[in-house]
Structure 1
Amino acid sequence: MKIVIDIDVPFLYEEIIINILKRLPAKSLIRFQCVSKHWKSLIKNPSFTAEHLDHSTHQNPCLLFEAIDRRTLNLHLLDCEMQLRRAPNHPLLDYLKRGWVIGSSNGLLCIDISMVDCISHHSLLLYNPAIREIRQVPTTCTDFHGFVGFGFSPIVDDYKIVKIYVDEAYDVEKVEVYSLRTGSWKGLELGILNGACVNSERFTANGAIFWFGFKRDLLGRNGDPVIISFDIAMEVFTLLPRPALVPRSYQNRLATYENKLALLSCYGIRNYESFFIELWVMEEVVAPSGGRWSWTKKYTSNPYPHFVRPMTIWKNEIVCKISTARGRENDNPNTVLFNLTTRESTELAVCRSDYVRHIFNYVESIIPVGGM
């Protein structure tokens, strides 16, 4: 019996090309756009951009270190091979010198440059360091006091920036949302944020942005601490409970563990001679009391002899900054990894010459921001 297999050779050929190209770094893909008009069109195609991002996310998740050297912003990347390299700066960032990273999502960074000497109002940039493309976000006001969040929702395929305006007591006064797709800002109703306070930096995961805060009672006093969640697709806020059994700590940080919202908590014992890290994970449940969410403690570290500040979770390890000088002058914290499986800790000698301010999960992408 004769079997005939009809093979579309051009399609197979292009499929092989795509399978090879998606494994390459962004720098190579930028150069390969010069090979032909067809390759340029292929690499700029949104479907290829998504395939390249998916491969980078699973095969080479990185850590982004936001470091400061003589008030100059420097970005460093640590890859899966534990190789550290300087992330390229855009000429505009080199000119401005200062600023800080608000958030990282799919290779895009949101950078706040409000405190730069030549900027007299609140100003934000969107930047993809892999392709060195930058975009200035339109300004809505000249006087901003509050908290900013940045994230992506695959449901609406859009990146959004959220500005929460607060007064001197950190009570929420106003909320604005910027969409990269529309290129414009709009105001939102406060809704459940009426009587809420925000008092922490942001964290982004699974199509939502989170902040620590609390809800005031009827007399205006501080109520129970909560986690404020903003659904990027639906553009609505939700108040989530915090773990009730978390010990008194000087440092809490939100993260993701096994694709779920997690909380990292650090606390000291014996007059702060030793420190522990705890990992709590939030589960969605139907409780008899009517509650929808429940927290479960997944991990407690071995005692550590230095001040520890949890930053994020990366490759099944808790990333922390450690301080051996206990806050004294010229203290330059190093980075330590606590392995969630082996419970071992490993110190990383990264960015020793700079002061590391923040550490983010990062993945290289060729996603454009539509700017310079």
Structure 2
Amino acid sequence: MGRAESLNSNFYHLLEEILIQILVRLLVKSLLRFRSVCQHWYSLIGDSAFIQVHLKTSSQNSYIILRNYQSQAKYLYSIRYDDESFREYFEPQLPSHILQQSLSLHGSCNGLICLSNVRGTICLWNPALRKLKTLPKSLIINSTSKLDLYNRSTTHVAFGFHPGVNDYKVVRIISYKNGYLTEVYSLSTDSWRRIDVAPSCFFVCWKPAIVNGAAYWVVKKTEEGSCYLLVRFEMGDEVFEEVMLPDGARGCHQYNIAVLGETLYLFGKCRFNRWCELWTMECGKTDSWTKRFTVDVGVEPRRVLCLRKSGDLLVADHESNQLLTYNIETQRDKDLGIHGCSLCAYSYVESLIQL
């Protein structure tokens, strides 16, 4: 290769690198339009390596996906900027046949959102791409008698990504009078698999927290005396483990958990008490429990929905049906001007992840 050809090749690669650095900073809706510029751009934006770099860049621009139940028996979904204004970014649209159903929100991971309806159907949804994937039918529900289904008490679902196996997984735990049944869905194989492990405890907090490919729930054990703890499901090894609460938090009667980054936050509150203790565990290390704050959250019936990027709490007040943001350091709350019942929220980032 001559000198001129070498210079032209280097110049081309430099332009390509500049182009990539520009494109990875754009919103998904802009990238979807730019795919039609030329075949090269279409291939570049759809490349798996580009999608991962874009996801990493998008993670710096966090949002909140909020579900709000209205009096017309309709759930509304909105994606909002996770900033002081909390203004709406856009209102994602579900297919009409899905939107008309009563849906539960089970988590958000890398731009994908997990939903389920009252019939037990679970969907994965990418609002930015307007793509929805209905998961195969449950192995447990299809193989269980109608009488057992009638006696089923509750279902717990968690959704997350495990970097070790490079796969998105959904775990479904169905509790019966005499125990639990568990199955795991893998996006890479698009199939459910029944597993023979199940927790031996009572779930206290229905909403799980996902840290480093592991789902955590607050549970209560009744064997040999009553005690609260966490149960952890490792999505890589697909096993359950018990995690003891820190000594100072075991006297509480109400618990909630949330995640910010790789930190698990545990909120413990005593009954009829205004004070709430805040503990953290780093990167799933059970010996890293640290007490951070004791905060006055008031006596109103409140529930922590999620942690904001600023470290503030997003809180639902069930007495006034208000959505509040609560600053842990100043111990002051602010009404965000959003009212409704059955409020549910998760942190969210845009992505080009395909289903």
Unaligned ranges ≥5, structure 1: 115-120, 287-291
Equivalent in the alignment of 1:358: 344
Equivalent in the alignment of 2:66: 65
CA distance in 2, matches of 1:33, 1:77: 24
Q: Report the alpha carbon displacement of residue 12 of structure 1 after superposing the two structures with TM.
A: 1.4
Letter in 2 for 1:123: T
Q: Report the alpha carbon displacement of residue 322 of structure 1 after superposing the two structures with TM.
A: 4.7
Letter in 1 for 2:216: F
CA distance in 2, matches of 1:280, 1:61: 23
Letter in 1 for 2:219: G
Q: Match for 1:107 among 111, 114, 125?
A: 111
Over 3 Å counting, the alpha-carbon distance change for 1:78 and 1:45 in structure 2 is same
Equivalent in the alignment of 1:182: 189
Over 3 Å counting, the alpha-carbon distance change for 1:92 and 1:321 in structure 2 is same
What are the superposed Cα offsets for residues 228-261 of structure 1, whole Å, 9 maximum, x if unpaired? Answer: 1111112121110123322755642212356222
Q: Conserved in 1, the CA contact under 8 Å of 2:264 and 2:284?
A: no
Letter in 2 for 1:174: L
Q: Conserved in 2, the CA contact under 8 Å of 1:279 and 1:299?
A: yes
Equivalent in the alignment of 1:212: 218
Equivalent in the alignment of 2:279: 280
Q: Conserved in 2, the CA contact under 8 Å of 1:241 and 1:293?
A: no
Q: Report the alpha carbon displacement of residue 262 of structure 1 after superposing the two structures with TM.
A: 2.1
Over 3 Å counting, the alpha-carbon distance change for 1:222 and 1:359 in structure 2 is farther
Q: Conserved in 1, the CA contact under 8 Å of 2:51 and 2:351?
A: yes
Equivalent in the alignment of 1:25: 27
Over 3 Å counting, the alpha-carbon distance change for 1:350 and 1:30 in structure 2 is farther
Q: Report the alpha carbon displacement of residue 283 of structure 1 after superposing the two structures with TM.
A: 5.5
- Which deviates the most, 343-352 or 42-51? 343-352
Q: Report the alpha carbon displacement of residue 304 of structure 1 after superposing the two structures with TM.
A: 4.0
What are the superposed Cα offsets for residues 102-127 of structure 1, whole Å, 9 maximum, x if unpaired? Answer: 1111111110112xxxxxx3111110
Equivalent in the alignment of 1:118: none
CA distance in 1, matches of 2:221, 2:78: 37
1:175 aligned counterpart, secondary structure? strand
Over 3 Å counting, the alpha-carbon distance change for 1:123 and 1:46 in structure 2 is same
CA distance in 2, matches of 1:302, 1:252: 15
Q: Report the alpha carbon displacement of residue 206 of structure 1 after superposing the two structures with TM.
A: 1.4
Q: Conserved in 2, the CA contact under 8 Å of 1:312 and 1:320?
A: yes
Q: Conserved in 2, the CA contact under 8 Å of 1:77 and 1:87?
A: yes
What are the superposed Cα offsets for residues 138-160 of structure 1, whole Å, 9 maximum, x if unpaired? Answer: 11225464211111111111110
Q: Where do residues 218-297 of structure 1 align in structure 2 (5 Å cutoff)?
A: 223-246=226-249, 251-257=254-260, 259-267=262-270, 275-282=274-281, 293=287, 295-297=289-291
Q: Conserved in 1, the CA contact under 8 Å of 2:209 and 2:264?
A: no
Letter in 2 for 1:161: V
Q: Report the alpha carbon displacement of residue 303 of structure 1 after superposing the two structures with TM.
A: 5.5
CA distance in 2, matches of 1:51, 1:258: 18
Q: Conserved in 2, the CA contact under 8 Å of 1:276 and 1:303?
A: yes
CA distance in 2, matches of 1:29, 1:212: 40
Q: Report the alpha carbon displacement of residue 310 of structure 1 after superposing the two structures with TM.
A: 1.9
CA distance in 1, matches of 2:115, 2:282: 32
- Could you tell me the percent identity over the aligned residues? 27
Matched, 1:367 2:353: yes
- Which deviates the most, 11-20 or 80-89? 80-89
> Which protein has the bigger helix share?
2
Equivalent in the alignment of 2:127: 129
Query: Under a length normalisation based on structure 2, what TM-score does the superposition of the two structures give?
Result: 0.84
2:20 aligned counterpart, secondary structure? helix
Q: Report the alpha carbon displacement of residue 210 of structure 1 after superposing the two structures with TM.
A: 1.1
Q: Report the alpha carbon displacement of residue 294 of structure 1 after superposing the two structures with TM.
A: 5.0
Q: Report the alpha carbon displacement of residue 44 of structure 1 after superposing the two structures with TM.
A: 0.9
Over 3 Å counting, the alpha-carbon distance change for 1:172 and 1:137 in structure 2 is same
Equivalent in the alignment of 1:163: 172
Equivalent in the alignment of 2:157: 148
Q: Conserved in 1, the CA contact under 8 Å of 2:162 and 2:168?
A: yes
Query: Under a length normalisation based on structure 1, what TM-score does the superposition of the two structures give?
Result: 0.81
Letter in 2 for 1:146: T
Matched, 1:317 2:311: yes
Q: Report the alpha carbon displacement of residue 227 of structure 1 after superposing the two structures with TM.
A: 0.8
Q: Report the alpha carbon displacement of residue 42 of structure 1 after superposing the two structures with TM.
A: 0.7
Calculate the aligned-residue CA RMSD, in Å: 2.8
Over 3 Å counting, the alpha-carbon distance change for 1:338 and 1:151 in structure 2 is same
Letter in 2 for 1:282: M
Over 3 Å counting, the alpha-carbon distance change for 1:125 and 1:303 in structure 2 is closer
Equivalent in the alignment of 1:197: 202
Q: Where do residues 295-334 of structure 1 align in structure 2 (5 Å cutoff)?
A: 295-302=289-296, 304=298, 306-323=300-317, 327=319, 331-334=320-323
Q: Report the alpha carbon displacement of residue 78 of structure 1 after superposing the two structures with TM.
A: 2.2
Equivalent in the alignment of 2:94: 90
Report how many residues are paired. Answer: 335
1:161 aligned counterpart, secondary structure? strand
